[in-house]
Amino acid sequence: LTLRNWALVYGGNLAGALLFTYFMVHCCGLTAGDPWHSAAIRVAEAKVAMPWSTVFLKGIGANWCVCLAVWLALSGKTLFEKALGCWLPVMAFVALGYEHCIANMFFIPLGMMEGADITVMQSITANFIPSTLGNIAGGALLVGALNGYIHNIGKK
């Protein structure tokens, strides 16, 4: 059941990211001019040029931050507390240059649409697979399992 749900969510995010990137960014010409055009290409090419282990480790960091954002938002009582709880870890993930598979479903295809020298297979093997595995490890182990252990979830 979990794998089926993951596959549906992953596929839905990929379809949504590709449609959004193509119609709402590329076709609208939002990145047609520089510096956006060349930046989109450089970002995409850099994301597939990193070693697999680096993408995996950056994937761990990314989803650790994203899951912490969810946890902190759920812990907040007021809208301000919830927003701050989300903002701090997500801001850290972006500022640190971590790799999140869903975010990369936007950045890499956008670079490809703008002319980056990247194949679909490269994006899958060099980024989507290691970032996805890192995201799973970061969210499941560093947030879910750790909090379950700390709070003795499931123990009577």
Task: Show me where the domains of the chain are located.
Answer: 2-150
- Cα-flanking dihedrals φ and ψ of residue 6, to 5°? -60, -45
Arch. (CATH architecture) of 2-150: Up-down Bundle (1.20)
How far apart CA 48 and CA 122 sit, in angstroms, is 7
Name the H helices within 20-127. Answer: 36-49, 52-75, 79-95, 101-113, 120-123
How far apart CA 77 and CA 54 sit, in angstroms, is 37
pTM of the predicted protein model: 0.90
Enter the tokens of residue 88: 């701090």
Per-residue pLDDT tens over the stretch 75-110: 999 999 999 999 999 999 999 999 999 999 999 999
Residue 76: DSSP 8-state: -
Per-residue pLDDT tens over the stretch 39-71: 999 999 999 999 999 999 999 999 999 999 998
What's the full length of the chain, in residues?
A: 156
